[in-house]
Structure 1
Amino acid sequence: MTVELVGKVRSTLKSTDHPYMQGAWRPTFNEWNAIFANGDVEVIGTIPDDIDGVYVRTGEVPVHEPIGRYHPFDGDGFIHAISFKGGRASYRSRFVRTKGFEAEQEAGRALWAGLMEPPHKSTRPGWGAQEWLKDSSSTDVVVHAGQILSTFYQCGEGYRLDPFTLEQFGTDSWVPQDGISAHPKFDPATGELMFFNYSKHAPYMHYGVVGPDNKLKHYIPVPLAGPRLPHDMAFTKNYAIVNDMPLYWDPELLKRNLHVVQFHPDQKTRFGIIPRLGQPEDIRWFEAEPTYTLHWLNAWEEGDEVILDGYFQEEPQPKSHPDAPDGLERMMAYLSQGLMKPKLHRWRFNLKTGETTEERLDDRILEFGMMNQKYAGQKYRYAYSAVPEPYWFLFTGLVKHDLENGTSEEIAFGPGRYGSEAPFAPRIGATDEDDGYLVSFIADVENDRSECVLIDAKRFSEGPVCRIVLPERFCSGTHSVWANGNDIGMGPNTVLGA
């Protein structure tokens, strides 16, 4: 093992009893390089020699003492990446050098208030849909055109990094005025990136497509009745799917510049199905039962139908968190999967009749699903969902669904061990859909360390085949991506994932 401490970010954070600044969410400020090989004491099991690629996970870390109440989504983006090749692993961690991060480092203090504070507490104009927040680029990561694209869920500029070294290249020139939301979607069959954004001014949403050459090729308005809070999108071979869900800022309070989320159960959920390069008049809207969905799993076309899998929240406006400190009851409720009760769900949209049908796929509380990205936008068989800690934004295990047979398997990470989203890494020369590994980072609170774990998807219930102990325990996080080594750095005319 070779370890190098390459940087330590200056922090002004004070000690605190905030629930999302301790335990698995304890912040760290060190940036590392490390190389691991089989035989190292830090490698438990064997690093597989039949995968080649990189696992990238982002998260939020509070660097400066917050202005007012802290929400964990206010933290600066901190990316961890571990690449595998020939039975060796190389780990890197870096803060995303956003414009806001650099400004606060120069000032030596927080300049922007967060989600739980009124706009006037920010000392400078902000970014995104709320206009006064810092674009921390901390929510999501995707690999497109050979680079990581890091994004912020309230819409920001998007930041590019090298997937192996985490060298930083700043923002893209193609990003529109209203920015891009987290969860743009990469199509491995075409190399295209589909994205959306949202705002408080008409038309309230846009949809766009970026080519494999990283140039904007399509951008259209998606007119809505008012400001909405979409979080994710989906796509099929021929269509993009956006949504208009009845959980959004209260319109009357918004007139007073108060951003208070309300669920409107008397309104239907609406899905907009757009031909990939279609115009606003081509959008077809479908209605479904009222809910809110954070994340979609996959979508595909089958005959006259577009089929969409995701996580239907039974309580989009949950009760207050029973154990939260004073003033944090609502924040912690909206971070609790156990209170919002998301369930794996399927929607079917009939393009011929305009009808929507729905069905529940699992009654367990699950979210943050992943699948083999080679099957993105196509019919697939296997899904891998995260099992939440009931009242925390933490994940205690994984469920593997065989959607063809209607069966599932579940594993737990172990006491005091909390995982990250676990994408699928195909085995070199894979012969079928689940021939590969799931990759995740684990925050082991009891042993005060972080690990990277690899689970053979075909031997799922046996747990990790390899655990790599990383240089220090870092803050828990969520969204991640796996990118195959052969796909990274290919030219703009290359079709990926074939």
Structure 2
Amino acid sequence: MTKPYISGHYTPAVDEISATDLPVRGTIPPELEGRYLRNGHNAKPGVTPTHWFRGSGMIHGVRIRGGRAEWYRNRWVHTTAFDDDAPLFRPDGSLDLAASAAATHIIEYGGRLLALQEVNLPWELSPELDTIGTFDFGGTLKTAMTAHTKEDPVTGDLHFLCYSPFPPHLVYYVASPAGEIVRNDVIEGAGPALMHDFAITGEHVLFIDFPVVFNPAEQSGIPYRWSDDYPARLGVMPRTGPPRVQWFEVEPSALLHTTNAHVDAAGRIVLDGPRYDRAAWETSWKWWVGAPGYAPVPVAGVTSHRWTLDTATGKAAEERTDDLVTEFPTIDNRRIGLPNRHSYALAFPGGGLDGWAVVKYDHQDGTRRLFDLGRDRLPSEPYFVPAEGGTDDDHGYLMTITSDLASNSSEMLILDAGDLHERAAIQLPRRVPAGIHGSWIPDSDLH
């Protein structure tokens, strides 16, 4: 049986190529000078991973300058796991922090490009996407680093986690803009849960201790399963002072990606994100491992949700905020930890939608807007880039790469984030497999 995560939109690229002077439909906004880079799981030829998340990392990049699409290139992240088949665990049972798939995300930090996978160290790439090597903050990072970091838009500090099935289950880090780890705290009371993401506000860190937990009986290579016996909890910790966590019990659910968190006018903490109930998690997991009976799309039954936490009373409220099936939420990163009016996500078939779409939410008036791509074109996570001089969190552009099965092609779309109309489409020289997370890296951010 062909696994769904290496077929259709997800059929891996088999080689590394480069192309220059890419054709453009429409007009690229002139202030865009930089690189759009997107990561994703792309198995080596002849390899069938046991789980979607185990495919090797491949970066697809588009360089924009002077209103032109200068180049496209795709490169595997040449880690020791990729080049030498280095196993995650050494013969003595210790974790090899360098043996990474490096397939989940790519970010810029301190002028460096870092490909991330949460059970390993980051791998640094050159601006031309050549692999340089592991990055460990000058030897001070001795654990893995989460694939989802949070850069505080006020301080420039980088917040990240290391979670583990073995004690200590959770370690929280803060690194300064200069590249120095300035905080390293073990979080007591956390359990062996899958903590793929977290959130911050200006005053708090939010930990997601939900009932997808370590289970060595899981044979897919990602040893986590839903547990009805594990309580779902959200942890709130002040960003200053000792690492004391206030835990809030909530309804059983899973949360892979947070949209954002902020403190509302009443002083309560508000967290948004696409929520899985047990049925949604187990249906989606079947696709991720290629188990019999998997759904036709990788995400099923996942809907936008909001949790409101009152630290004074210790009470939590939660509500579904939309019925579309969505994942990979994004915002204007200048609003991380602050109130955001708008957010964006990838909408999947289901919940009343026949095809794929980019969705924009207005959290002030409760409305949504869709850029419908139909049944054949699958977009990637929409990444928000502010327009020059733009202050509102929808005054800018959304970048996404499409996989078009009907024409066996791909485009990088630049959408106006205001009304979701197409500003430009860059024709890529190959069909790019559907991927995971990416970033826009302005030239001014690189060394």
Give the aligned partner of residue 471 of structure 1: 429
Residue 196 of structure 2: SS of its match in structure 1? coil
Residue 142 of structure 1: SS of its match in structure 2? strand
Give the aligned partner of residue 82 of structure 1: 62
Residue 364 of structure 1: SS of its match in structure 2? strand
Q: Cα–Cα, structure 1 residues 72 and 273, in superposed 2: closer, same or farther, change >3 Å?
A: same
Give the aligned partner of residue 380 of structure 1: 340
Cα deviation, 1:107-165, whole Å, max 9, x if unaligned, reads xxxx659xxxxx9xx9996847xx9x952010122221122221114x11111223x42
Give the aligned partner of residue 107 of structure 1: none
Give the aligned partner of residue 290 of structure 1: 252
Q: Tell me which of 319, 334, 358 is aligned to 1:398.
A: 358
How far the C-alpha of 1:416 sits from its partner, in A, is 1.4
After TM superposition, list the pairs within 5 Å mapping 1:18-417 onto structure 2.
18-36=3-21, 42-66=23-47, 70-90=50-70, 91-104=72-85, 112=87, 127=95, 134-153=99-118, 155-162=119-126, 164-174=127-137, 176-224=141-189, 226-250=191-215, 253=217, 261-265=224-228, 267-280=230-243, 282-302=244-264, 303-315=266-278, 318=281, 328-329=290-291, 332=294, 336-338=298-300, 341-389=301-349, 396-417=356-377
Uncovered stretches (5+) of structure 1, i.e. residues with no partner? 1-15, 105-110, 114-118, 490-498
Residue 60 of structure 1: SS of its match in structure 2? coil
1:345–1:359 CA contact under 8 A, matched in 2: yes
Count of aligned pairs: 441
Residue identity opposite 2:123 in structure 1? Y
Residue identity opposite 2:327 in structure 1? E
What is the rounded CA distance, in whole Å, between the counterparts of 1:330 and 1:248 in structure 2?
A: 22
What is the rounded CA distance, in whole Å, between the counterparts of 1:442 and 1:124 in structure 2?
A: 44
Cα deviation, 1:460-498, whole Å, max 9, x if unaligned, reads 1x3x22111112112210211223444444xxxxxxxxx
2:286–2:295 CA contact under 8 A, matched in 1: no
2:190–2:209 CA contact under 8 A, matched in 1: no
Residue 362 of structure 1: SS of its match in structure 2? strand
What is the rounded CA distance, in whole Å, between the counterparts of 2:220 and 2:92 in structure 1?
A: 16
Cα deviation, 1:81-103, whole Å, max 9, x if unaligned, reads 22333212233321112121121
Tell which deviates more after alignment, 379-388 or 42-51: 42-51
Residue 429 of structure 2: SS of its match in structure 1? coil
Residue 190 of structure 1: SS of its match in structure 2? coil
How far the C-alpha of 1:200 sits from its partner, in A, is 2.5
How far the C-alpha of 1:209 sits from its partner, in A, is 0.7
Residue 436 of structure 2: SS of its match in structure 1? coil
What is the rounded CA distance, in whole Å, between the counterparts of 1:332 and 1:347 in structure 2?
A: 29
What is the rounded CA distance, in whole Å, between the counterparts of 1:144 and 1:203 in structure 2?
A: 26
Aligned-residue RMSD, C-alpha? 3.3
Q: Cα–Cα, structure 1 residues 415 and 259, in superposed 2: closer, same or farther, change >3 Å?
A: closer
Residue identity opposite 1:143 in structure 2? E
1:318–1:334 CA contact under 8 A, matched in 2: no
1:266–1:290 CA contact under 8 A, matched in 2: no
1:321–1:329 CA contact under 8 A, matched in 2: no
Cα deviation, 1:28-81, whole Å, max 9, x if unaligned, reads 133233343xxx6x21222221333432210111115347x6322221110112
Residue 278 of structure 2: SS of its match in structure 1? coil
What is the rounded CA distance, in whole Å, between the counterparts of 1:208 and 1:308 in structure 2?
A: 21
TM-score under structure 1 normalisation? 0.80
Q: Cα–Cα, structure 1 residues 290 and 150, in superposed 2: closer, same or farther, change >3 Å?
A: same
Residue identity opposite 1:173 in structure 2? D
How far the C-alpha of 1:261 sits from its partner, in A, is 3.6
Q: Cα–Cα, structure 1 residues 70 and 247, in superposed 2: closer, same or farther, change >3 Å?
A: closer
What is the rounded CA distance, in whole Å, between the counterparts of 1:320 and 1:414 in structure 2?
A: 23
1:349–1:357 CA contact under 8 A, matched in 2: yes
Q: Which runs of 4+ in 1 moved over 4 A?
A: 122-128, 256-260, 316-325, 330-335
Residue identity opposite 2:344 in structure 1? Y
% identical aligned pairs: 30
Residue 144 of structure 2: SS of its match in structure 1? coil
Q: Say whether 1:427 aligns with 2:387.
A: yes
Residue 388 of structure 2: SS of its match in structure 1? coil
Tell which deviates more after alignment, 217-226 or 206-215: 217-226
Q: Cα–Cα, structure 1 residues 225 and 451, in superposed 2: closer, same or farther, change >3 Å?
A: closer
Residue identity opposite 2:263 in structure 1? E
How far the C-alpha of 1:287 sits from its partner, in A, is 1.9
Residue identity opposite 1:181 in structure 2? T
